[in-house]
C-alpha cells in the first residue's frame, strides 16, 4: 500500500514517491533555544516522531534531520537579560529540550545541525544569491533577499506578493529596496556577537539558516520538509525563495505542517496566562498520557489542551494498560514481520498510510483491547497473549505502551501519595485484617480511596493502582 501525504504546497494528498527509491530524506524545523520547550513544540516533536517511526516501520531508509537555531535576536536578547554568554544559554536549553523529548518517547533525529556550525555555508549561499541578483548588500551593512526577483514567491502560503507589498512597511533603520525584502545577513553593531563575512562582521538571518542547513545535510532537493503551523509564512516561504534561487532546483517535494495548539479553546499565549512548558505538563501527567493526547487528533488538525482532555487521554490509555495487566512481559514483533493480510494489521496500516492518521490507528487498537478482554473472560489465554503481542507491536509505531502495565498504573503525579506510603498502608491493612480489626482495615481502604488509590484484593494478595 502506497503512503499518501497531504502536501501544503499542492494543497492535496499525494503519493510518497521518494527521489531515491526506498530512501526518504526529511528535514523538520526544530527549536530556537532561548527558553524551555512549550506545548506547541511538543505537538511538532511528537507528530514527526510518529511519522518517522512509521516510515522506518515500512522499511524506508529514513534520514531525519531536525535543526537547532542557536543564534538569533531572541537568543541574544535573553542572554543579555541574563548577563550570560549566549553559548551558555543555548547549551542549557538544548539539554532541557533533549530531556523533554526523551521523556515524551521521541527518538533522536539522525542529524541535529546547529546554525552556528554552518556559518560558512550560510555565507556561501548568501554570496551566491548576490551573484545571481537575488540579494543585495544595503547601505546599512545588511544583506537582503530581493523578493520581487523570485517569480514563485507566495506559492506555499498562497499569499499574493502584490497584496504583501501594499501592507508592508520599512523600519527607519532599514535600507531595503522593497518592504517585502528580508534579511539574509545582519551587520553587527559594536560589541554584538558576530562572524566575519565579505559584507563585514555580522550574523545570519533566521530564514537563511534553515536553507543552508537543510541543503548541506540532505542536498539541494529532498523529499519532505516539515514544521509547525506558524512557519508556513514567512519562514518556509522564504526558505523556498532562497534555496530555489540559489540552487536552481526544486527545494522540498512535500511540505508538511502540524496543526495549532489551543488552550481551553483560546490561542496559547503568555499574555493570556495559558502558556505551558512541556515540563510543567509532565509534572502533572505521565509522559505517555501527554503523548497519547497529542496523537489522539490528526497531526494536521488543531488540538485543544484542557484538563478534561488530558483526563480523557489518561482514561483511554489506562484501558490499554488494564488489558495488559497481569500478562507479564509481552514480546512485540517488528512491524515488517506482521502479516498485512491480518485484518487488524491491514486496517492499522491503511490508517497510517493515509496521511499518518493516528486517531484511526488508535481506533484499531481499541478493538484489539476489546477482543483481548473477551478472550480473557472466556479463559482463552493463548488468544489473549496473541492479541496482546499484536497490540504492543502496533502501539510501538505510535510510540505508546512503552511502560510496564503495573508501573504505569502506579505512576504518581506531583503531590500524590508515594508508592512507599501506599505499600506501608496496605501492610497495615493486612495486619489489621489478620487481627480481625476490620474497622481499621476499612478505614485504611477509605483513606487510600480518598487519596486516589484503588485496591484490588484477590487470593494472591492485594494490588493497587492510581484512580
Please name the residues in contact with 130: beta carbons below 8 A apart, sequence gap of 6 or more. 136, 137, 143
CA distance 145 to 183: 6
Listed by start position, the domains of the chain span 4-261, 306-409, 416-466
Low-confidence ranges of the chain (pLDDT < 70): 166-173, 269-271, 412-415, 460
Tell me whether residue 58 is annotated as binding: no
CA distance 304 to 323: 28
User: Is the CB of residue 444 less than 8 Å from the CB of residue 451?
Assistant: no
Tell me whether residue 210 is annotated as binding: yes
The class level of CATH for 4-261 reads: alpha beta
Give the single-character DSSP code of 465: E
Beta bridge partners of 186: 203
4-261 and 306-409: same fold? no
pLDDT (0 to 100) of residue 269: 67
Q: For 134-152, give the DSSP string.
A: SEEE-TTS-EEE-GGG-TT
Give the single-character DSSP code of 20: B
CA distance 447 to 256: 50
User: Is the CB of residue 231 less than 8 Å from the CB of residue 156?
Assistant: no
Tell me whether residue 118 is annotated as binding: no
> Which cell goes with 149?
526577483
Torsion, Cα 345 350 351 356, to 10 degrees, reads 110
Report pLDDT digits (tens) over 133-191: 999 999 999 999 999 999 999 999 999 888 787 666 666 567 899 999 999 999 998 88
CA distance 369 to 319: 8
Burial class (CB in 10 A: 0-12, 13-18, 19+), 338: buried
Q: Which fold has domain 306-409?
A: 1.20.120
pLDDT (0 to 100) of residue 16: 98
> Which cell goes with 193?
556577537
Amino acid at each position: 500500500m502506497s503512503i499518501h501525504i497531504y502536501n501544503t504546497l499542492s494543497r492535496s494528498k499525494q503519493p510518497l514517491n521518494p527521489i531515491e527509491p526506498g530512501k526518504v530524506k526529511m528535514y523538520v524545523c526544530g527549536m530556537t533555544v532561548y527558553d524551555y520547550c512549550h506545548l506547541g513544540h511538543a505537538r511538532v516533536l511528537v507528530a514527526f516522531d510518529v511519522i518517522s517511526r512509521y516510515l522506518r516501520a515500512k522499511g524506508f531508509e529514513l534520514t531525519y534531520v531536525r535543526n537547532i537555531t542557536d543564534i538569533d535576536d531572541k537568543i541574544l536578547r535573553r542572554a543579555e537579560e541574563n548577563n550570560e554568554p549566549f553559548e551558555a544559554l543555548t547549551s542549557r536549553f538544548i539539554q532541557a529540550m533533549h530531556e523533554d523529548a526523551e521523556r515524551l518517547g521521541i527518538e533522536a533525529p539522525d542529524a541535529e545541525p546547529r546554525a552556528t556550525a554552518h556559518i560558512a555555508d550560510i555565507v556561501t549561499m548568501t554570496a551566491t544569491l548576490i551573484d545571481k541578483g537575488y540579494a543585495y548588500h544595503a547601505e546599512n551593512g545588511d544583506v537582503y533577499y530581493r523578493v520581487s526577483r523570485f517569480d514563485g514567491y507566495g506559492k506555499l502560503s498562497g499569499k499574493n506578493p502584490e497584496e504583501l507589498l501594499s501592507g508592508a512597511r520599512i523600519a527607519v533603520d532599514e535600507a531595503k529596496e522593497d518592504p517585502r525584502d528580508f534579511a539574509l545577513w545582519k551587520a553587527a553593531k559594536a560589541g554584538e556577537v558576530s562572524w566575519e563575512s565579505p559584507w563585514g562582521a555580522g550574523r545570519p538571518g533566521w530564514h537563511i539558516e534553515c536553507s543552508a542547513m537543510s541543503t548541506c545535510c540532505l542536498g539541494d532537493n529532498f523529499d519532505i520538509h516539515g514544521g509547525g503551523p506558524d512557519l508556513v509564512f514567512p519562514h518556509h516561504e522564504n526558505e523556498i525563495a532562497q534555496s530555489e534561487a540559489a540552487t536552481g532546483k526544486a527545494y522540498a517535494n512535500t511540505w508538511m505542517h502540524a496543526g495549532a495548539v489551543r488552550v481551553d479553546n483560546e490561542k496559547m499565549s503568555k499574555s493570556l496566562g495559558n502558556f505551558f512548558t512541556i515540563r510543567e505538563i509532565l509534572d502533572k501527567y505521565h509522559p505517555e498520557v501527554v503523548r497519547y493526547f497529542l496523537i489522539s487528533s490528526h497531526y494536521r488538525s488543531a488540538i485543544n489542551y484542557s484538563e478534561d482532555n488530558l483526563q480523557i487521554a489518561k482514561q483511554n490509555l489506562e484501558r490499554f494498560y488494564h488489558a495488559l495487566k497481569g500478562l507479564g512481559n509481552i514480546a512485540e514483533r517488528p512491524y515488517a514481520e506482521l502479516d498485512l493480510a491480518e485484518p487488524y494489521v491491514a486496517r492499522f496500516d491503511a490508517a497510517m498510510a493515509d496521511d499518518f492518521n493516528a486517531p484511526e490507528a488508535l481506533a484499531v487498537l481499541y478493538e484489539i483491547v476489546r477482543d483481548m478482554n473477551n478472550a480473557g473472560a472466556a479463559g482463552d489465554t493463548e488468544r489473549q497473549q496473541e492479541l496482546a503481542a499484536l497490540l504492543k507491536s502496533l502501539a510501538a509505531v505510535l510510540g505508546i505502551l512503552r511502560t510496564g502495565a503495573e508501573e504505569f498504573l502506579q505512576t504518581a503525579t506531583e503531590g500524590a501519595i508515594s508508592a512507599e506510603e501506599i505499600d506501608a498502608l496496605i501492610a497495615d491493612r493486612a495486619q489489621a485484617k489478620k487481627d480481625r480489626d476490620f474497622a481499621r482495615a476499612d478505614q485504611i481502604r477509605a483513606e487510600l480511596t480518598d487519596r486516589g488509590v484503588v485496591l484490588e484484593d484477590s487470593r494472591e494478595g492485594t494490588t493497587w493502582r492510581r484512580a
